Chains A and B, each alone.
Chain A
Amino acid sequence: MKILLSEEVRAQIRAHGAETYPQECCGALFGHDKQMSREVTALLPLVNRNEDSPRNRFSVTAEDVLVAERAARERGLEVVGWYHSHPDHPPRPSEYDREYAWPWYSYIIVSVEKGAAKEMSSWQLAEDRSRFSEEKIEVMRVRAGEAQFEGAER
């Protein structure tokens, strides 16, 4: 499985991660799910609702999930995943990420080091919840309705 991001979406995730540093950012990924890949064409930045430990955890409430689903539907898209940042940590899912993850969704993680966005990766939970599988990120440059790809993020 690979995940295609528009340039704008990639830039927005990186900017959001830098903006909320040293706290974690989070948001919803909007797009289309296809058989062999999924496309992310828009996102909805959300407030990290984790008040206990926002530097190393994020929470999106059920109410915010419903808001995101409604916003996606209004654009003719669906929520295909979620993004968050790992301040001063690599963009690899933690045990905490796995424990709270849902199947099917793509989970994009951006590493933010000393306030600057670095590596980005995308993950999907295995159906038996035992592990995450990495998804290859490709960035699409859309020109007049035609998608072009400029290679993997990592």
Chain B
Amino acid sequence: MAVKVLIPTPLRAFAGKRDSVQFEAKTVGEALKQLTTEYAELRKHLYTDDGKIRSFVNVYVNDEDIRYLAKENTPAKDGDTITIVPSIAGGTAAPTRLGALR
């Protein structure tokens, strides 16, 4: 089953300058694992050191946020589009609560 993963502009330099890649995958987690295996430099931007998707990395399957589905276990089927969307944050203060940014 081929699913398409859309790469956001700031990460394209780490994915061979491609804006999308197709993988055979049954879940979102599988597709992202294949993505970061093929383009290993993407890993540090998408995942924390302990292997969790960073809080400012948002992943959608066909416009639905996987946080509200089954997260990385969300099923992916032939023809699905997985979109990685940044959220942006910063400021003068040190973080005191590292929750999701959305």
Binding site for B on A (CB under 8 A): 24, 26, 50, 52-53, 56-62, 65-66, 78-79, 82, 84, 86-87, 89, 93-97, 99-105, 107, 127-129
Q: Does B44 contact A (CB under 8 A)?
A: yes
29 A-B contacts, Cβ less than 8 Å apart? Answer: A52-B97, A53-B91, A53-B93, A57-B90, A57-B91, A57-B93, A58-B91, A59-B87, A61-B87, A61-B102, A62-B58, A62-B65, A66-B85, A84-B91, A86-B92, A87-B92, A89-B92, A95-B94, A96-B94, A97-B90, A97-B91, A100-B56, A100-B90, A102-B8, A102-B10, A102-B11, A102-B56, A103-B45, A127-B13
Question: Residues of B contacting A56 with CB < 8 Å?
Answer: 91-93
Q: Is the CB of B13 within 8 A of A96?
A: no
In the complex, what distance in Å separates the CA atom of A62 from the CA atom of B55?
11
Q: Is the CB of A104 within 8 A of B10?
A: yes
The majority secondary structure among interface residues of chain A is: mixed
Binding site for A on B (CB under 8 A): 8-14, 41, 44-45, 56, 58, 65, 85-95, 97, 101-102
Q: Which of A101, A103, A129 contacts B13 (CB 8 A)?
A: A103
In the complex, what distance in Å separates the CA atom of A127 from the CA atom of B40?
13
Question: Residues of A contacting B91 with CB < 8 Å?
Answer: 24, 50, 53, 56-58, 84, 86, 94, 96-97
Q: Is the CB of B92 within 8 A of A100?
A: no
In the complex, what distance in Å separates the CA atom of A129 from the CA atom of B44?
8
Q: A26-B88, A58-B90, A100-B88 are in contact. List 8 more A-B contacts (CB 8 A).
A: A24-B92, A56-B93, A89-B92, A94-B92, A96-B93, A100-B56, A104-B13, A127-B13
Name the residue in B13, B41, B56, B65 with the highest tally of chain A Cβ atoms < 10 Å from its Cβ.
B56
Question: Residues of B contacting A61 with CB < 8 Å?
Answer: 87, 101-102
Q: Is the CB of B44 within 8 A of A128?
A: yes
